[in-house]
Amino acid sequence: MQRRKKYDKTKICVRCKDAQGNIVIRHTVYCKNCFTPLLIHKFRRVLEPTVNPKPDGPRRTALKPAGNLVIGFSGGLGSSVLLDLVHRCYVALDKSTMPTEGGRDHPRHERVWKKVTVCYVEVCDAFPGMDDRTDEIARFVSRYDELDFVPLRIQHAFDRTWWERIGRSTSFSDIGVDLADESLLIEPLSQTHPDPLTALRTYLSSLPTPTAIHSSIQALTRVLLLHTALQTGSSHLVLGTSLTSLAVSLISGVAQGAGFNVREESMEEWTPDPETRPAPDTVPDDGTEGARKSKEARRTVRIVRPLRDIGMKECATWAWWSHIPVVGKEKWVWPGAKPGIGTLTKDFILGLEQDYPSTVSTVVRTCGKLAPKGEVAGKCILCGRPAQRGVQEWKARISIRSQPPPPPSDSDSTDAPATPAPVVPESKANTRPSLTPYLCYPCHTTLTSRSARPVPSPWPDTAHSSVAPLPVWTEARLGTHANVGVSVADEEEIAVAKKMDQEEMKGIVNEFLCIIRS
Amino acid sequence: MSTISLKIEFGGGLELLFSNQRSHRITIPANVPPEGSDVPSKPVDITYLLFWLRDNLLKERAELFVENGTVRPGVLVLVNDTDWELEGEGEYQLKDGDEIVFISTLHGG
pLDDT tens profile A466-492: 788 999 999 888 876 544 444 444 443
Structure ipTM: 0.90
More confident residue, A396 or A506: A396
More confident residue, A118 or A339: A118
B109 vs A: CB within 8 A: yes
- Asked whether the CA dihedral A259, A260, A263, A265 is positive or negative, the reply is negative
Q: What is the pLDDT of residues A323-348, one digit of tens each?
A: 998 888 878 888 878 888 999 999 99
Q: What is the pLDDT of residues A373-401, one digit of tens each?
A: 888 888 899 999 998 888 888 877 877 66
Q: Is residue A444 part of a domain?
A: no
Rounded-to-integer distance, Cα A379 and Cα A443, Å: 11
Residues A252 and A367 in one domain: yes
Three-class DSSP category at A362: helix
Which of the 8 DSSP states describes residue A279? Answer: P
Residues A218 and A274 in one domain: yes
Residues A100 and A147 in one domain: yes
Q: State the total domains in chain A.
A: 2
Among B46, B87, B106, pick the best mutation site for testing chain A contact (most A Cβ within 10 A). Answer: B106
Residues A156 and A8 in one domain: no
- Give contacts of B106 with chain A, Cβ < 8 Å: 350
Q: Is residue B15 part of a domain?
A: yes
Q: What is the pLDDT of residues A307-328, one digit of tens each?
A: 999 999 999 999 999 999 888 8
Which of the residues in chain B have pLDDT under 50?
108-109
Q: How far is the alpha carbon of B19 from chain A, nearest alpha carbon, in Å?
A: 16
Rounded-to-integer distance, Cα A138 and Cα B109, Å: 18
Hey, are the CB atoms on B103 and A319 less than 8 Å from each other?
yes
Secondary structure (DSSP) of chain B: --EEEEEEEEETTGGGGTTT-SEEEEEEESEEPPTT--S--EEPBHHHHHHHHHHHT--S-GGGTEETTEEPTTEEEEETTEEGGGTTGGGPBP-TT-EEEEEES-S--
Which of the 8 DSSP states describes residue A483? Answer: -
Of B11, B13, B89, the CB nearest to A320: B11
Q: How far is the alpha carbon of B30 from chain A, nearest alpha carbon, in Å?
A: 24
- What contacts A92, CB < 8 A, 6 or more positions away? A144, A145
Q: State the total domains in chain B.
A: 1
Classify burial at A81, counting beta carbons within 10 Å of its beta carbon; exposed 0-12, middle 13-18, buried 19 or more: buried
Hey, are the CB atoms on A76 and B89 less than 8 Å from each other?
no
Hey, are the CB atoms on B85 and A317 less than 8 Å from each other?
no
Chain B, nearest residue to A27 by Cα: B85
Percent of chain A residues topping a pLDDT of 70:
77
Residues A137 and A16 in one domain: no
- Give contacts of B103 with chain A, Cβ < 8 Å: 316-317, 319-320
Q: Is residue A406 part of a domain?
A: no
Q: What is the mean pLDDT of chain A?
A: 81
Hey, are the CB atoms on A328 and B108 less than 8 Å from each other?
yes
Residues A13 and A75 in one domain: no
Question: Contact at 8 Å (CB) between A91 and A76?
Answer: no
Q: Is residue B49 part of a domain?
A: yes
- Give contacts of B78 with chain A, Cβ < 8 Å: 317, 320
Find, among A118, A116, A154, the residue nearest to A137 by Cα: A118
φ, ψ for residue A445 (rounded to 5)? Answer: -65, -40
Percent of chain A residues topping a pLDDT of 90:
42
Q: Is residue A156 part of a domain?
A: yes
Q: Is residue B109 part of a domain?
A: no
Q: Which CATH number fits the domain that encloses residue B33?
A: 3.10.20.30
Q: Residue A357 pLDDT > 80, yes or no?
A: yes
Residues A156 and A221 in one domain: yes
Q: What is the pLDDT of residues A14-29, one digit of tens each?
A: 999 999 999 999 989 9
Hey, are the CB atoms on B82 and A20 less than 8 Å from each other?
yes
Tell me the residue ranges of DSSP E strands in A163-282: 175-178, 186-188, 234-239, 267-270
Instruction: Return residues 12-41 of B near A (CB < 8 Å).
Output: 12-13
Residues forming a β-bridge with A68: A234
- Position A240 confidence tier, pLDDT thresholds 50, 70, 90: very high
- Position A174 confidence tier, pLDDT thresholds 50, 70, 90: confident
More confident residue, A504 or B28: B28
Three-class DSSP category at A116: strand
CA atoms within 13 A on the CB side of B81: 10
Q: Residue A432 pLDDT > 90, yes or no?
A: no
- Position A241 confidence tier, pLDDT thresholds 50, 70, 90: very high
Residues A284 and A301 in one domain: yes
Chain B, nearest residue to A10 by Cα: B86
Residue-level pLDDT at A501: 61
Residues A351 and A374 in one domain: yes
Question: Contact at 8 Å (CB) between A421 and A403?
Answer: yes
Q: What is the pLDDT of residues A365-374, one digit of tens each?
A: 999 898 888 8
Q: Which amino acid is at A113?
A: W
Q: Which of A343, A365, A386 is the last residue of a domain?
A: A386
Q: How far is the alpha carbon of A313 from chain B, nearest alpha carbon, in Å?
A: 7
Burial A435-454 (b: 16+ CB within 10 A, else e): bbbbbbbbbbbbbbeeeeee
Tell me the helix, strand and coil percentages in chain A, rounded to 5.
40, 10, 50
Q: How far is the alpha carbon of A408 from chain B, nearest alpha carbon, in Å?
A: 48
Residues forming a β-bridge with B25: B7
Residue-level pLDDT at A108: 62
- Mean pLDDT of the region A151-171: 91
Q: What is the pLDDT of residues A53-80, one digit of tens each?
A: 887 665 667 888 999 999 999 999 999 9
* Domain encompassing residue B74: 3-104
A86 vs B: CB within 8 A: no
Q: What is the pTM of this model?
A: 0.83
Tell me the residue ranges of DSSP E strands in A322-430: 376-379, 386-388
- Position A129 confidence tier, pLDDT thresholds 50, 70, 90: confident
Q: What is the pLDDT of residues A252-271, one digit of tens each?
A: 999 998 889 888 888 889 98
Q: Residue A425 pLDDT > 60, yes or no?
A: no
Of B74, B81, B109, the CB nearest to A32: B81
Classify burial at A43, counting beta carbons within 10 Å of its beta carbon; exposed 0-12, middle 13-18, buried 19 or more: buried
Residue-level pLDDT at A266: 83
* Domain encompassing residue A14: 1-30
φ, ψ for residue A155 (rounded to 5)? Answer: -70, -10
Q: Residue A495 pLDDT > 60, yes or no?
A: no
Residue-level pLDDT at A413: 44
- Give contacts of A317 with chain B, Cβ < 8 Å: 76, 78, 83, 103
Conformational region of residue A470, where left means phi above 0, alpha means psi within -120 to 50, and beta covers everything else: beta
Of B78, B86, B107, the CB nearest to A329: B107
Of A22, A79, A244, the CB nearest to B82: A22
Size of interface A-B (CB pairs under 8 A): 90
Residue-level pLDDT at B68: 87
Of B78, B83, B107, the CB nearest to A326: B107
Percent of chain B residues topping a pLDDT of 90:
55
Question: Contact at 8 Å (CB) between A431 and A186?
Answer: no
